[in-house]
Amino acid sequence: MAGELGQALLEQQRLLFEQWYRVRDGRLSRSEFAQTVQPIRERFGQLLREGAGCEIAPKEKTPLAKTVRTSQQLLKIEPALWTFVTTEGIEPTNDAAERALRPAVLWRKQSFGSQSEAGSLFVSRMLTVATFLRAQNHSVLEYLVQACRASRQGLPTSSLLPIEDPTP
């Protein structure tokens, strides 16, 4: 049962992403996407309800039990899974977040992390600054040099926030 349900859910995922790539590439409008995805969403919900409805023992540890519990948890947040369908700028994957975290993960693996709370705080702040600056196509080194100079001279450090153009 668990395997069949998993395969059926994967098929719905394949159909969903087939349509999402059309939206992303500009071949399908957002409103057309919402209509096209509706049957996929309904089938996905039906499959989750089937999975959540299977009988299992309270402490059961079988693959079926894992499937049942996962289905139950997904049903609780099911509407949120579909936010990307109607909301511009929201992606169906967390690829962008994973790409942003990758430098921090690589640093931790290479350096064995920080050994103190102060060190962890420093690293988290530096990685945040570096990620933010790179996202704006600014030089991390130039910003840090400027920040150190400003600090030594008792001057404020320039803001990390992008400067908005006041002219419409």
Q: Could you list the pLDDT tens digit for every one of the 168 residues in the chain? A: 889 999 999 999 999 999 999 998 999 998 999 999 999 999 999 999 999 999 999 899 999 999 999 999 999 999 999 999 988 888 888 777 777 778 777 877 787 777 888 888 888 888 888 888 887 888 999 999 999 999 999 999 888 776 655 555
Structure token digits, residue 26: 């500009």
Structure token digits, residue 43: 């089938």
CB atoms within 10 A of CB 2: 17
Tens of pLDDT, residue by residue over 23-52, are 989 999 989 999 999 999 999 999 999 999
